[in-house]
Structure 1
């Protein structure tokens, strides 16, 4: 079907997706027992709007709340916007797992509109890049919460920090990604024992399969995932795997590779790209034990060398359960290298392109920091859906030049002009002639 960024889908505009997100928020059971003047759905959607607008802090968003306009109602469907203190209080008790349906419902919209067709790979599977990342760290005693992870260095300095296990559907030919519901890596034992990426991945796999029981997927992961317990978890989740391995971390496996090669049991393929001059050399191995402790855990291994036209060399290796034949090794190699997409197009975007992923929006006494981080990733998913299927979004982005400039100008129009939808804002940025002249608010 071609690049997803060429698609045009009315259901993938912000104006179609915001009500969908609101519906999932409204479905979260209310746990407050006393009277409330602000519905929890309004509080959740207000935090989502803060990340949709890329406000750099809760304080900046609170100033916007006082602007003399009704854009939060007309653009986002928010009846009452809480103050920064009210937002913290309302969101702190929310279980982050309660936000998973929002990701699932946006994903189903993408699925229904055939966006996923363009992401199919290796026989119709979907590559899911999974990795952990830090999004907050401080040595200040006063800035932390019960879910902070804790580490102490050799001189006794204590650092509180947060991590998240992120996951996104990726494709070697696409810059867009489809973020899936993340899994928090949190301290669940009163600061006595930190959670870890391996446990978070196990939880994520189970939750993913509950949300998407029939989706054919192939996990692409880093070297830390190349262990027998994780491979058993992957098989239990009915998923495939394509995992980086390094000689220094898997001596037993690489000794077996050398023995295989010396005995002539290795399948070898070398190709030369006539257009670029790139030389590609593949060695495939089958049925090798992953390590000495797990001889019954058998894997296939793809080794890959690539020389550029000027002689620069790159070397990669992966374990996999995918067929390795002369017809498949090129695609397997590209799928394995797509693992970096979650770092380059997801974490880097969240940290460096206006989303302020590493900013401390608040900690609270329970889940506040995690809830806000999950809502930020949800806003990123909605932005990616617009980038794929909304021509007005792509036109406004092109007119503004960069994503940061786009976010800046969306905030400016949102604050200063009379608009009734996000679509109107985007069309105004792309071409002012396609909508009525913008009328400044009377701020006198």
Structure 2
């Protein structure tokens, strides 16, 4: 990489001390990341229609959407913290004026008042559009499975719950005499072996009314989500990674009709397939591979597979499946040797050349949606399960803005701009958010800051490990 293409924040204002330089670096990295990949905050939300009377507004629509994203980026955890930490802070007000031309930072209630009138479909398009942009700019090309397929992990999770009915669309669960009212989502995330988990599309799991004949569920939501994915990305080569709940004829048929590959965790829900796999593998000694990896090659993996296993589903549709098994043996944290079995059913044809990649970069990438996806959003400071609004539409908008924040945060955290500004790191991901909050609240920006940031040539690269 040529030196004149490396963005160095230390040259922007050499008269400031190191702490202030670091704060300038973080604000600059945020701005450059958004503008480099997505064309700026206004463009991200450019497709959303503004329901307000334009003669009476104080804040542009993009500024209020960005304020919600910033709440998640800074790990504030609640809407009221927008008011206490950002609105009542002069450096924060100044940054908002520089970015959006308004003379104050909005109140947390102002966000809610707008979000309950926004279109969730348009907010979803902002999320999907960001993932599409990363695909179009070939940011994720190097991590395509077999050099072709983008791995999309699909999984569901709970978001918010109540002791009383929150809205007509609540799901319900009864324990004894107590009924819990809750909401769930089914997420489709683009996942990569290096740990990226970008929200591609969300399907909200909700009942059509207060007394439905049958409740909505992950399976029903998956069929709706799959149809939307195919309509939105009709020619994108996808490999859908799913847990064992989805292993069945309807999913096999849907993926084959859509031209998708699938990797589904295989447990005990397809007994005839498992029986054939156990019986046939002994007749295919060539379908066996051993591999050592990890530090000092201490991880031992044994692969076995059988192609072209026939399966007839409950609707008498015939399917040709492959079962891929990996037995992984390695020492645990105490030094004890443990063996774990991973197994998938798939429509890939497995070979000696493809088994390791399909298992490790395809099948096992599904866990990224749980770890870097849901776990980080729930326990890493994003506070996914916090009730940001009592309005069902606003709740969806807050959820989708959280997905935008997570996409931006991953690009910042793993990008070369951050690694160059902080070569020794800052500890945990929460520390990045804490430092960004300090910078937003304390750093006084010069009026020409944006011009200086934009004037320096740069590239953003990502660690491929």
TM-score range, shorter chain: 0.7 to 0.9
Tell me whether 1:180 sits opposite 2:200 in the alignment.
yes
Cα distance change on mapping 1:76 and 1:407 into 2, 3 Å? farther
The question of whether the paired residues in 1 share the 8 Å contact of 2:249 and 2:313 is answered with no
1:171 aligned residue: 192
Aligned pairs for 1:333-412 within 5 A: 333-334=359-360, 335-364=362-391, 366-392=392-418, 395-396=421-422, 398-412=424-438
After superposition, what is the alpha-carbon deviation per residue over 1:177-231, rounded to whole angstroms, capped at 9, x for unaligned?
3332322222333352432112222222222233333221111111011111122
2:349 aligned to which of 323, 326, 331: 323
> SS where residue 209 of structure 2 aligns?
coil
> SS where residue 213 of structure 1 aligns?
coil
The question of whether the paired residues in 2 share the 8 Å contact of 1:164 and 1:183 is answered with yes
> SS where residue 142 of structure 2 aligns?
helix
Tell me whether 1:255 sits opposite 2:275 in the alignment.
yes
2:322 aligned residue: 300
2:157 aligned residue: 133
The question of whether the paired residues in 2 share the 8 Å contact of 1:103 and 1:180 is answered with yes
Tell me whether 1:244 sits opposite 2:255 in the alignment.
no
> SS where residue 287 of structure 2 aligns?
strand
1:27 aligned residue: 47
CA distance in 1, matches of 2:39, 2:446: 14
The question of whether the paired residues in 1 share the 8 Å contact of 2:44 and 2:130 is answered with no
CA distance in 2, matches of 1:78, 1:24: 19
> SS where residue 400 of structure 1 aligns?
coil
After superposition, what is the alpha-carbon deviation per residue over 1:346-392, rounded to whole angstroms, capped at 9, x for unaligned?
1111112221111111121x411111011101111111222343513
Tell me whether 1:85 sits opposite 2:109 in the alignment.
yes
> SS where residue 181 of structure 1 aligns?
strand
Tell me whether 1:73 sits opposite 2:90 in the alignment.
no
Provide structure 2 residue ranges, at least 5 long, that are not aligned to the other structure: 9-28, 454-465
Cα distance change on mapping 1:344 and 1:78 into 2, 3 Å? farther
CA distance in 2, matches of 1:197, 1:338: 20
1:120 aligned to which of 125, 144, 147: 144
The question of whether the paired residues in 2 share the 8 Å contact of 1:126 and 1:218 is answered with yes
2:33 aligned residue: 13
The question of whether the paired residues in 2 share the 8 Å contact of 1:12 and 1:390 is answered with no
| Cα drift, residue 57 of structure 1 | 0.7
The question of whether the paired residues in 1 share the 8 Å contact of 2:322 and 2:347 is answered with yes
CA distance in 2, matches of 1:195, 1:267: 45
Q: How many residue pairs end up in the alignment?
A: 413
2:292 aligned residue: 273
The question of whether the paired residues in 2 share the 8 Å contact of 1:18 and 1:76 is answered with no
Tell me whether 1:199 sits opposite 2:199 in the alignment.
no
Tell me whether 1:150 sits opposite 2:176 in the alignment.
no
> SS where residue 322 of structure 1 aligns?
coil
The question of whether the paired residues in 1 share the 8 Å contact of 2:300 and 2:328 is answered with yes
| Cα drift, residue 270 of structure 1 | 3.6
CA distance in 1, matches of 2:350, 2:239: 15
The question of whether the paired residues in 1 share the 8 Å contact of 2:94 and 2:103 is answered with no
| Cα drift, residue 336 of structure 1 | 0.8
Cα distance change on mapping 1:342 and 1:76 into 2, 3 Å? farther
CA distance in 2, matches of 1:78, 1:161: 38
CA distance in 2, matches of 1:76, 1:210: 35
Cα distance change on mapping 1:194 and 1:367 into 2, 3 Å? farther
The question of whether the paired residues in 2 share the 8 Å contact of 1:223 and 1:244 is answered with yes
| Cα drift, residue 409 of structure 1 | 2.0
The question of whether the paired residues in 2 share the 8 Å contact of 1:165 and 1:184 is answered with yes
The question of whether the paired residues in 2 share the 8 Å contact of 1:11 and 1:17 is answered with no
Cα distance change on mapping 1:30 and 1:104 into 2, 3 Å? same
CA distance in 2, matches of 1:340, 1:151: 26
The question of whether the paired residues in 2 share the 8 Å contact of 1:125 and 1:217 is answered with yes
Cα distance change on mapping 1:198 and 1:36 into 2, 3 Å? farther
Moved more, 375-384 or 191-200: 191-200
The question of whether the paired residues in 2 share the 8 Å contact of 1:354 and 1:404 is answered with yes
| Cα drift, residue 32 of structure 1 | 4.9
The question of whether the paired residues in 2 share the 8 Å contact of 1:17 and 1:382 is answered with no
1:46 aligned to which of 67, 89, 96: 67
CA distance in 2, matches of 1:17, 1:159: 41
CA RMSD of aligned residues (A): 3.2
